[in-house]
Amino acid sequence: MRVVQWVVAVAGELWFAVAVLAAWWILSSGSTSFYFPPLSEIWARFRELWLFEQVPTDVWPSLRNFSPAIALSCLIGIPLGVLLGSLRTLQQIVSPVLSFGWALPKLALLPAFIAIAGIGDGMKVAFIVAGAIWPILLGARDGVRAVDPALRDMARSYRLGRAATIFKVLLPAAAPQIFAGIRTSLAIGLVLMIVGEMLVASSGLGYFVLQAQQSYALVDMWAGALLIGLLGYLINLLFSTLERVVLRWHFARRALHAG
Amino acid sequence: MDESELSRSGKVNPMTNTMDAVVSGQDSASAEPDIVPAADHVAFTYHTTAGDRPIPGDITFEIGRGEFVSLVGPSGIGKTTLLRVLSGLMRPTAGEVRLDGQRVTEPPRQLALVLQDYSRSLLPRYTIEKNVALPLSAAKVNRRDVRERTATALAAVGLAADVDKYPWQLSGGMQQRVAIARACLPAGDFGHGRTVCVRRRPDPVRPRGPGPAPPPRVRHDGPAGDARH
């Protein structure tokens, strides 16, 4: 029974995507355009490249920069956000700087990053962090600021202490917003990863796609773009699953109140 | 206080529909000192952008052992504010709050607070058992004691069967009983009658034995509510 439900759910989620792919496949099948090769050709190339010959040379370098950058963004962004959310004066002082940092297009910083940190992996990680940290930091800050005053009173009147207040009261209450921040950070991080690789790298997916385009291997280029899209989708899917597990209480409660 | 009144009585009115309460209990370690909450010319003023808004000020009283005090007044008069000041959650803008002669600046250890927003003061991520156990765990009580005392407290408020449920799965009244169980737990133990509990009409909780100083209460149903009971 559960299997049937699961199949129905997955089908409900994917039927449109499948329809789009089918339309693309059929409409492009007779294409002789150099720029828009048939999907069947792209797919054939996709399998050659990504299952799994080029994975160590192009996919792995990308993920090797992306994953630690996101982890680092969480490790710095969450504590900083909690701190800012707890100390109103501090938050008022630094808030203009935060807004500026958040609004500044991170691409504008890439030349500075290259000048300071060179073109190694360390620079690419730092560059992704510089862009991905903001939504996490701001999510944690806003989440902590929005914690119900009744919960704060409770923590104080029972003398829970700083550690218990942070880990048992503030962080869980702010968790939904922190997770929303991480979700945005994943998207931003992916963009910065690709751009960084396009401009300064000799490996990675961004490098591969640009290189393919510049050597007129447009089928390769499309295959690379397809993989990047799928990667983003899979990362999101993975993260949603994690979110559903960690915030189970949150979703259960919300479902109850909605129903 | 001009419009609110502080009424005292020697016994607990079982029919009171209490919303907020300060429960002072005795720490089982301390031998026999009376817990005497006192207010000395206490006043509190909210400074808002719309101007200063004082609650009726210059409040002075002392509550002795075994006394039960209700605080009655129309809404907006500052009953909850006064309770927050008395419990140490807010500093009075004038005067002094004392407990056993000690000036209150932070919520004191011997005090338990059941806030009006009882349902919002429970942690949605934890089962009610963990919610009730939280203050004890934070006070570094050993784990076996925590479990035992939590179970007793939840049984005393009639929630023994619901220990594994989450607050948001319970009705408002049940959530209030969870908050009460949590408030009563650190102060004393249910089995030997050192605890004062707050009662609510539909599902009375019985304090056992002669408790220490009963709680001053804020009643949100006002004097009219008195006539009903």
Counting as low any pLDDT under 70, the low residues of chain A are 1, 259
Bin A61: left if φ > 0, else alpha if -120 < ψ < 50, else beta. Answer: alpha
By C-alpha distance, the chain B residue nearest A172 is B125
> In terms of CA atoms, which chain B residue is nearest residue A153?
B89
Chain B nearest-CA distance from A219, in A, is: 50
Least CA distance to A246: which residue of chain B?
B125
Residues 148-177 of B with CB under 8 A from A: 166, 168-169
What would the DSSP string read from start to end of chain A? Answer: -HHHHHHHHHHHHHHHHHHHHHHHHHHHTT---SSS--HHHHHHHHHHIIIIITIIIIIHHHHHHHHHHHHHHHHHHHHHHHHHHH-HHHHHHHHHHHHHHHHS-GGGGHHHHHHHHTTSHHHHHHHHHHHHHHHHHHHHHHHHHTS-HHHHHHHHHTT--HHHIIIIIIHHHHHHHHHHHHHHHHHHHHHHHHHHHHHS-SSSHHHHHHHHHHTT-HHHHHHHHHHHHHHHHHHHHHHHHHHHHHTHHHHHHHHHHH-
Select from B23, B81, B134, B185 the residue whose CB has the most chain A CBs within 10 Å, as the one to mutate to test that interface.
B134
Give contacts of B106 with chain A, Cβ < 8 Å. Answer: 156, 159
> Is B120 an 8 Å CB contact of chain A?
yes
B168: which chain A residues are within 8 Å (Cβ-Cβ)? 252-253, 256-257
Closest-approach residue (CA) in chain B for A156: B107
Domain that holds residue A243: 46-258
Q: pLDDT at position B186, please?
A: 60
Q: Which of B107, B123, B169 lies nearest to residue A156, judging by beta carbons?
A: B107
Token pair in block for residue A89: 């004066």
For B168, the closest of A157, A172, A256 (CB atoms) is A256
The verdict on a CB contact (< 8 Å) between B125 and A172 is yes
From CA A115, how far away is CA B132, in angstroms rounded? 56
Which residues 6+ apart lie within 8 Å of A255 measured at CB?
none
Q: What share of chain B is helix, strand, coil (3-state, %, to 5)?
A: 30, 20, 50
B90, closest residue in chain A (CA to CA)? A153
Give me the number of domains chain B comprises: 1
Q: What is the pLDDT of residue B176?
A: 87
Which residues does chain B have within 8 Å of residue A257's beta carbon, measured at their own beta carbons? 168
Q: Under an 8 A CB cutoff, do A150 and B115 touch?
A: yes
Name the residue facing A164 among B124, B138, B186 (closest C-beta): B138
The answer, yes or no, to whether the previous bond of A167 is cis (omega within 30 of 0) is: no
Residue pair A93/A153 in contact (Cβ under 8 Å)? The answer is no
Strands B216-219 and B68-72, sheet pairing: parallel
Whether residue A1 is contained in a domain is answered as: no
Boundaries of domain holding B97: 5-228
Q: What is the CATH number of the domain that holds B197?
A: 3.40.50.300
What residues of B are in contact with residue A250 (Cβ under 8 Å)? 124-125
Closest CA to B44 of B72, B79, B69, B68: B79
A74 is written with which tokens?
């969480």
Q: DSSP strand E in chain B: where?
A: 5-9, 20-24, 37-43, 45-48, 51-54, 59-62, 68-72, 94-99, 102-103, 111-114, 216-219
The answer to whether residue A138 sits within a structural domain is yes
Q: Tell whether A68 is covered by a domain.
A: yes
Determine the pLDDT at residue B6: 53
Enumerate residues 6+ apart whose C-beta is below 8 A from A69. Answer: A124, A125, A126, A128, A129, A132, A189, A193
The domain that contains A90 carries what CATH number? 1.10.3720.10
Residue B36's pLDDT is what?
65
CB–CB of B121 and A151 under 8 A?
yes
Q: Which residues in chain A are contacts of B134 at CB distance < 8 A? A: 158, 160, 164, 168
All residue ranges of chain B with pLDDT < 70 are 1-36, 186-229
Taking the Cβ of residue B186 and every Cβ of chain A, the question of whether any pair is shorter than 8 Å is answered with yes
Chain B: closest CA distance from residue A9 (Å): 27
* Inside any domain, residue A205: yes
Domain count within chain A? 1
Q: How many helices (H) and strands (E) does chain B have?
A: 5, 11
- B184 to chain A: nearest residue by CA? A158
On whether the CB atoms of residues A196 and A110 are closer than 8 A, the answer is: yes
